[in-house]
Amino acid sequence: MKNLSFTLLTSLILSLLLLFAGGVWAKNSENITVKSEVIGEMCFTTIDIQTTEEWLNKEYELIEFDSYPNIRRQGFIMDMFYSNAGFGKSQWTEMDTKGIYVQSPGTLYMEPTLWRDSGMQPKWLLRISIMNPVSGDSCK
């Protein structure tokens, strides 16, 4: 009886975790993509965001990219760009990274309402580029 209860409880917990994780991934994957690539001794992470009305009205957004295990000792370089000229991803303009915070072990905190209030519109493209030293298998 104990084994059956344990198995049922374990199955329920795993099912709920998969359901929750699937819902979060589906929500973020609609307008946010994260790609990481090893270049020499560096991990180059690109986060592309297709802005939507719903996204611009968010008070905050957390994006986990799991390629940055130790910001305290390794350091990083980050830059941000936008594209609104109608040429897709072929033309980018650098923008201020105000309102973006990098948290260990690889999470970006950002406030889309700041950009909306400064004039950003739906259907704009945002690109955040982050470069940091490779550490183990962290750059996936």
- Segment 18-57, tens digit of pLDDT: 333 333 332 345 899 999 899 998 889 899 999 999 999 9
Tell me if the pTM is above 0.85: no
Does one domain contain both 74 and 102?
A: yes
Is the Cβ–Cβ distance between 104 and 64 less than 8 Å?
Answer: no
Does one domain contain both 85 and 58?
A: yes
Residue 140 lies in a domain: no
Please provide the DSSP assignment of 53-71 as one string.
Answer: HHHHT-S-EEEE----S-H
State whether the Cα torsion 90-56-65-97 is positive or negative: positive
Helix H or strand E segment including 121: none
**pLDDT tens digits for 50-108?**
999 999 999 999 988 766 666 777 788 889 999 987 777 888 999 988 778 887 677 88
Residue 139 lies in a domain: no
